[in-house]
Structure formats: C-alpha cells, structure tokens
C-alpha cells in the first residue's frame, strides 16, 4: 500500500444507506466532504454530480477532513501510512479471511476503506442499522449479494462469521473478506477453532510514535534481542515527552486542536465504551459501576492488581471485577500483564499488573494535563510506564513469531517493568522518569541476568535522559525516543 499523503488521498467518512464509504477524487485542491445518500450503496466520486444509480445529488460542504496528522505538534492535514497496512495486504495474497482488530477509533475503518477502494471490494459497515438488520435476518443473502467485501465492526453481528466460514470452505481464493472488529473476535466472541486455517488476525492499535513521526516501523525490540546497541551516543532529550504521553494515539484525539478539546473527546470516548459499546460483548446493567471501574483501573495502571480493593470500592464482588476487566481487555482498552516466573522459583511475586493501551486515555481518566505532570513529577511514573507498554505492543504486533510481555518482581523488591520473552531468550526493560541513572537502578536487571544466565540477552532502562550509554556488558540506559527513532550504529561499528 502506498504512503497516502494530502496530495493524493482523501476519504470522505460519509456513507450511503447501507453503509458504504463515499470516496473522493485523490486531489488536495478539491478535498471537500462528499455526502450523498445513495439508496443502493454505490461509491460516489467527484467525477459525478449525481449518483448514476439512485440519482441523488452530491452535497459538498466546506469542511476539510483531517484523518491522520503527519506530526502531532503541527496542524498538517496529511494522511500517513499505517504500519499494519502492509501486513494486511500481505495476508490478502494467501489468506481467505483477514481480521483487522483493535479498539474503537483506532483507524480500522479508514484503513479498511482505503483497501476496499484499492482492491475494489464492497464495503459494508454493521454500524449502519439497515445493514446490521440484514446481516441478522439474512446473512447468507447479504454476503452473496456483496461478493468479496470489507465488513466493518463485525462484532455487531458475529453470526456473519459462520456464514463467511461456510462460503470460504467452498472457495479457497485468498483475500475474499477483510473483517474488522472493535473487540478481540477470538477471545469469547468466536471460537478460534471455527476459522482455523481460514483467517489471519492483525491488530491495529492507536497511532504509534513512529507513525506520527512518519517513520518506518521501529526495530527497537529486534535490536534488543540481538544486543545490538551502540555503547555511547549523545542524542539529546526526547522532544515533547509529556505532550506525547498526554496526547496518546487515538487519531481523533490527536487531531484535536487543544488539550482541553482532546481531553473532552477522550472522556466522551471512555463513557461510550462503558455504557454503549460494551453491550456488543455482554449485557451489563450496572453501567455506572462499570464507568467507575474504568476510573479505578486508571488509578491502578502500572501497579500490582488488587481485585479485592477495587471490588470493595465499587461495592461489587471480586468475580464481577474480574469479569468486567476481561470485557475491557476484549475491547483493547487495558491488559493484565502477567508476572514472569519459573516454576521452581518461590522468591518471585506472581501478581499481574494492569496497563492501559493508550496513555492519552489513561491521563484523561486521571484528569492529568501536561502542566499537572510537569509540576509534580511523581505523577509521571505510572503513565510513562503505560506509554512504553503501548509502544512495545505496537512494535510486537508487526513482528513475526511470538513475543510475550510480563513483569518481574521478587520478594527483595527487585523489579523490572517489562520482560520480553521469545524462543527462550529474555530482554528486560525498566522505565524511569529520572534524567540521570544510578547503579542501583539496574539491580532488577542484574538479578534477572544472574537468575537466567545465557537466556538473558540485554537489559535496558528507558528514561528521560539525553544519551545512549552502556553501563555493563549488556545493560544500557537510553532516552525514551529510542523506542521509535531509527537505529544508529551497532556496537561493532561504534
């Protein structure tokens, strides 16, 4: 997929009656909303003054669409390529069904519309009530009439997935269906076994820092597993770190013109998640308590998870808290990070930690602004940790192979925020809000290295510093922006 920029791409965002996208000519000079309501759902393009099928006139407005700002610190109306685009296109060459999953408002619809246009696929969205009704009443008829298609928000009619399975069982052509879901479709919604060998799932989380900087996918994790870092380099501090954390990566939030507007959108988003969107997964009567759980979870982000404490604060039992947290995990809002341990070790704490997948949403739920954090650095630690966690997840989602993320803490209070494990090899990553590092900051990493021997590849402290520095054979300190900055020379070439 090409790098879509302001000069050659605009998607309109409006839809006709059955939910297909209205797509404009790819020029910047006439980038205006195109809002016809075609009763048959055909694409309306700028070459037509009316839809040739239903003869409804276009109704252009003067609003310019900003899908993805090129730089979060400039109001530049450009569209940048999502790193997940290439894995989706690759999967379409050899897989019958591709599932693009991630939280609401992460950019799935925009990406799937671009792919639908490029591959001439029918576009259906189940956010449209008429399309959803047809999907529930006559799923086979809907799919057969649409042909190869993008089906957006399929979790709103999960019965369609069985219909897709039946169709692709008799037709093994790759790239027939691109489905998107704002929940983890294969964790409680659909049995993974029912689509084994027929589907590939690809995550699309909110924008990464590399995407917002228009950089290629980061190779930080790959280099960590090779112990492939320079011994010393002055890089300067990470620019606008606090702003990056408070902004987060949801495209709609990033595009907001002011911090107040951004926080208002994020709070409305959180309210919609806990009162409306969650009903796609499970009937929840106590939406007020669920909203409160989201706020309590925000306060617990980056800390060991205490179910009983949260249950007591909400006036519900522990099993209810556990069930609600599972639902929020399925919606890609937060995750419980398991504790790293070996079966023979009795000195390790085995309680999971909680992390939000977007630091902007986390800060909004905590009512934190850039100025709040700047005046009280004690408020930075937990949100910075979740910021790093989110960036790691986005990198790992693009990599081949399985990489597990856990945390490490022993009874002597040595801890590591993130332990990455792949094929028996380990990388430890600690997050510090300080500008300078002390030898004691490496205690947890040294303890893990001693306990695991040759399995330990490298240990890294990411902090608010201004240089890459090797402190020991395979222990490093480096600025936060090394998570997304292009790699520099290797130790051998330094």
The C-alpha atoms of residue 200 and residue 477 are separated, in whole angstroms, by 37
- The answer as to whether 386 is a domain residue is yes
Same domain, 449 and 338: yes
CA distance 18 to 125: 8
pLDDT value at position 191?
A: 60
Domain boundary among 203, 226, 241: 203
Map tokens 């964790």 to a residue.
187
Nearest Cα to 32, choosing from 75, 79, 65, 54?
65
pLDDT of residue 341: 84
What pLDDT score does 289 carry? 81
Q: How far apart are CA 154 and CA 483, in angstroms?
A: 33
pLDDT reported for residue 159:
86
Range with the poorest average pLDDT among 50-54, 186-190, 262-266: 50-54
Residues 265 and 375 in one domain: yes
Judge whether 4 lies within some domain: no
**Do 143 and 239 share a structural domain?**
no
- Tokens 């620019």 correspond to 239
Strands 149-152 and 177-181: parallel
Cα separation, 351 vs 311, in Å, equals 17
Look at residue 445 and tell me if it is in a domain.
yes
- CB-count burial class (<10 Å; 0-12, 13-18, 19+) for 338: middle
Classify residue 378 as exposed, middle or buried by CB count within 10 Å of its CB (0-12, 13-18, 19+). Answer: exposed
In a domain, 5, yes or no: no
Half-sphere exposure of 415 (CA within 13 A, CB side): 16
Nearest to 425 by CA among 407, 403, 443: 403
Rounded CA-CA distance 453/464 in Å is: 29
Give the pair of three-digit tokens for residue 322: 């556990």
441 and 484 in a single domain? The answer is yes
Domain count, the chain: 2
What is the tens place of the pLDDT at every residue in 387-403?
A: 999 999 999 999 988 99
**Closest to 100 measured CA to CA, from 211, 201, 193:** 201
**Per-residue pLDDT at 405 exceeds 50:** yes
pLDDT of residue 54: 37
Query: How do residues 118-173 score in pLDDT, each as one tens digit?
Result: 999 999 999 999 999 999 999 999 999 999 999 999 999 988 999 999 999 999 99
Which of 203, 223, 258 finishes a domain?
203
Q: How confident is the model at residue 383 (pLDDT cuts 50, 70, 90)?
A: very high
CATH number of the domain at 120, please.
Answer: 3.40.50.300
Cβ atoms of 298 and 314 within 8 Å: the answer is no
pLDDT in tens, 250-259: 999 999 989 9
280 and 214 in a common domain: yes
Looking at the fold, whether 339 and 379 belong to one and the same domain comes out as: yes
Q: Are residues 107 and 243 in the same domain?
A: no
Determine the pLDDT at residue 160: 92
Which of 73, 86, 104, 100 has the alpha carbon at shortest distance from 250?
Answer: 104
Q: Residue 333 — left, alpha, or beta (φ > 0 → left; ψ -120 to 50 → alpha)?
A: alpha
Looking at the structure, tell me whether residues 433 and 452 fall in a common domain.
yes
Structure tokens at 333: 């809002």
DSSP state of 183: S
pLDDT of residue 280: 74
Burial of 94 (0-12, 13-18, 19+ CB in 10 A): exposed
In this predicted model, which residue has the larger pLDDT, 15 or 193? 193
- Do 261 and 410 have their domain in common? yes
Q: Are residues 315 and 172 located together in one domain of the fold? A: no
The reported pLDDT for the residue numbered 32 is 29
The span from the CA of 453 to the CA of 455, in Å, is: 5
Q: Is residue 2 included in any domain, yes or no?
A: no
Residue 252 and residue 265 in contact, taking contact as beta carbons nearer than 8 Å: yes
Give the integer Cα–Cα distance in Å for 460 and 327: 33
Mean pLDDT lowest for which of 51-65, 72-86, 254-268, 330-344?
51-65
- What would the pLDDT profile of 310-327 be if each residue is shown by its tens digit? 999 999 999 999 999 999
Check residue 42 and give its pLDDT.
35
Residue 1 lies in a domain: no
pLDDT band at residue 192 under the 50/70/90 scheme: low
Is residue 6 situated within a structural domain?
no
Both 74 and 106 in one domain: the answer is yes
Q: Which domain holds residue 121?
A: 11-203
CA distance 332 to 104: 8
Query: Could you tell me the two tokens for 465?
Result: 């510093």
pLDDT at 283: 63
Q: Is the pLDDT of residue 422 over 60?
A: yes
Q: What is the mean pLDDT of the chain?
A: 83
Q: Are residues 190 and 218 in the same domain?
A: no
Tokens of 106: 């992460």
- CA–CA distance, 257 with 241 (Å, rounded to integer): 18
pLDDT of residue 104: 96
CA proximity to 468, closest of 453, 454, 456, 483: 483
Which tokens belong to 402? 């399985």
The percent of residues in the chain predicted with pLDDT above 70, rounded, is 79
Identify the DSSP state of 410: B
Confidence at residue 195, expressed as pLDDT on a 0 to 100 scale: 77
Determine the longest span between alpha carbons in the chain, in angstroms: 74
Q: Which one of 170, 203, 236 terminates a domain?
A: 203
Q: Quickly count: other Cβ atoms within 10 Å of residue 433's Cβ.
A: 18
Mean pLDDT throughout 97-109? Answer: 97
Tens of pLDDT along 3-61? 333 333 333 344 443 343 333 333 333 332 333 334 333 333 333 333 333 333 333 33
- Using an 8 Å Cβ cutoff, are 107 and 204 in contact? yes
Q: pLDDT tens digit string along 216-261?
A: 999 999 999 999 999 999 999 999 999 999 999 999 999 998 999 9
Q: Lowest-confidence range among 233-237, 338-342, 417-421?
A: 338-342
End-to-end CA distance of the chain: 35
Q: Which helix (H) or strand (E) holds 110?
A: helix 108-119
Q: Residue range 438-448: average pLDDT?
A: 96
Q: Does residue 361 have a pLDDT over 60?
A: yes
* pLDDT (tens digit per residue) in 268-312: 999 999 888 887 777 666 667 888 999 999 999 999 999 999 999
355: tokens are 């992390």
What local confidence, expressed as pLDDT, does residue 347 receive? 65
């Amino acid at each position: 997929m090409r790098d879509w920029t302001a000069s050659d791409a605009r998607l309109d965002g409006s839809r006709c009656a059955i939910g297909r996208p209205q797509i404009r000519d790819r020029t910047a000079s006439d980038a205006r909303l195109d809002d016809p309501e075609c009763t048959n759902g055909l694409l309306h393009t700028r070459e037509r003054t009316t839809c040739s099928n239903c003869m409804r006139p276009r109704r252009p407005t003067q609003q310019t669409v900003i899908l993805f700002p090129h730089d979060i610190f400039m109001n530049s109306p450009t569209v940048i390529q999502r790193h997940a685009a290439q894995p989706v296109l690759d999967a379409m060459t050899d897989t019958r069904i591709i599932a693009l999953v991630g939280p609401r408002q992460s950019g799935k619809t925009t990406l799937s519309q671009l792919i639908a246009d490029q591959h001439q696929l029918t576009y259906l969205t189940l956010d449209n009530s008429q399309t959803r009704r047809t999907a529930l009443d006559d799923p086979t008829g809907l799919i057969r009439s649409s042909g190869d298609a993008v089906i957006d928000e399929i979790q709103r009619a999960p019965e369609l997935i069985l219909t897709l399975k039946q169709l692709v069982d008799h037709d093994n052509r790759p790239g027939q269906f691109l489905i998107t879901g704002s929940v983890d479709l294969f964790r409680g919604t659909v049995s993974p076994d029912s689509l084994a060998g027929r589907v590939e799932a690809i995550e699309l989380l909110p924008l990464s820092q590399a995407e917002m900087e228009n950089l290629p996918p980061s190779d930080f994790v790959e280099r960590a597993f090779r112990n492939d870092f320079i011994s010393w380099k002055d890089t300067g501090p990470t620019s606008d770190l606090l702003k990056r954390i408070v902004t987060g990566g949801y495209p709609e939030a990033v595009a907001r013109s002011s911090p107040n507007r951004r926080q208002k959108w994020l709070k409305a988003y959180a309210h919609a998640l806990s009162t409306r969107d969650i009903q796609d997964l499970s009937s929840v009567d106590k939406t007020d308590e669920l909203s409160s759980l989201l706020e309590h979870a925000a306060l617990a982000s980056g800390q060991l998870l205490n179910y009983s404490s949260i249950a007591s604060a909400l006036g519900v039992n522990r099993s209810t808290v556990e069930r609600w947290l599972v639902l929020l995990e399925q919606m890609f809002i937060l995750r419980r990070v398991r504790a790293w341990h070996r079966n023979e070790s009795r000195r390790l704490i085995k309680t999971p930690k909680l992390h939000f997948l977007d630091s902007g949403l986390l800060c909004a739920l905590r009512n934190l602004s850039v100025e709040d954090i700047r005046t009280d650095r004690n408020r930075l630690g937990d949100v910075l940790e979740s910021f790093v966690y989110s960036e790691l997840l986005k990198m790992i989602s693009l990599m081949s192979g399985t990489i597990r993320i856990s945390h490490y803490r022993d009874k002597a209070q040595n801890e590591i925020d993130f332990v990455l494990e792949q094929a028996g090899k380990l990388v430890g990553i600690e997050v510090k809000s300080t500008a300078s590092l002390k030898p004691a900051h490496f205690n947890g990493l040294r303890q893990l290295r001693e306990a695991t021997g040759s399995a330990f590849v490298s240990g890294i402290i990411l902090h608010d510093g201004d240089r890459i520095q090797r402190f020991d054979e395979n222990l490093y300190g480096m600025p936060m922006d090394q998570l997304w900055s292009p790699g520099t020379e290797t130790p051998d070439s330094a």
